Amino acid sequence: MLKKILIPNFFRRRSKYSDTIIKMHSKKFKYHKYLKIYQNCPPEDYNEINILAYRWVHNTTDKNDFIPVNLINEPPQRMLDDTDKMCMGYGLSVFNSHSNAIGKYESLYNKRRKHLKKVFIEDMGNAVAEIKIEREDGIGNIPNLDNFGHFTFHEYENKEIMNSIICKTKILFNKNGIIKR
């Protein structure tokens, strides 16, 4: 299926001739057997992108760092009727900047009671990976600036963005358990 769409400069192919790109979801996605269950998954407004993205990971690589949340855990019951959220759960959550990744991490971390903060770190990681995502790696949506620049990225089959990590930055905490900035 070919479709012309307008997209912001941030996601646009470099061209002096046009503000449009031709978009095609003809490539197979890594988790296609799950995605095909949902209508319009991934959504048609997702595009191939070149971007530096930031994702929470463990300082020492963990097998779950680059596995979609719906494959690690059963989705929460409240999401079972929400096709958009279920579809997103088979993509990877990433952010458009290091500071946005830390900001969202800190926001979620600070909402937890003291005894659950350790579990949060064990589950979500203790570092931020900078990842070079290229068009041939998959597709993503436009970063949501109202949600710390978060966007969802769906990898193509046989792609491993884990191999595109440029660097990792450990998330540091002070003696009181507060994130150092």
User: Tens digit of pLDDT for each residue in 103-137?
Assistant: 999 999 999 998 899 999 999 999 999 999 999 99
- What's the pTM value of the predicted model, to 2 decimals? 0.81
pLDDT band, residue 176 (cuts 50/70/90): confident
Position 3 scores a pLDDT of 39
pLDDT band, residue 5 (cuts 50/70/90): very low
Contact 101, 95 (CB under 8 A): yes
Position 61 scores a pLDDT of 79
Closest to 56 (Cα-Cα) out of 118, 128, 143: 128
Domain assignment present for residue 21? The answer is no
Query: Is residue 19 over pLDDT 60?
Result: no
Average pLDDT over residues 32-61: 93
Position 90 scores a pLDDT of 93
Contact 86, 75 (CB under 8 A): yes
- Alpha-carbon span 105 to 121, nearest angstrom: 10
Contact 181, 102 (CB under 8 A): yes
pLDDT band, residue 181 (cuts 50/70/90): confident
Average pLDDT over residues 95-106: 97
pLDDT band, residue 81 (cuts 50/70/90): low
Contact 49, 133 (CB under 8 A): yes
Contact 139, 25 (CB under 8 A): yes
Please give the tally of structural domains in the chain: 1
- Alpha-carbon span 163 to 56, nearest angstrom: 15
Paired residues of 42 in beta bridges: none
Position 85 scores a pLDDT of 81
Least confident of 36-45, 67-76, 154-163: 67-76
Domain assignment present for residue 125? The answer is yes
Query: Is residue 18 over pLDDT 70?
Result: no
Domain assignment present for residue 7? The answer is no
Domain assignment present for residue 127? The answer is yes
Please give the residue range of the domain that contains residue 114: 28-170
Position 102 scores a pLDDT of 97
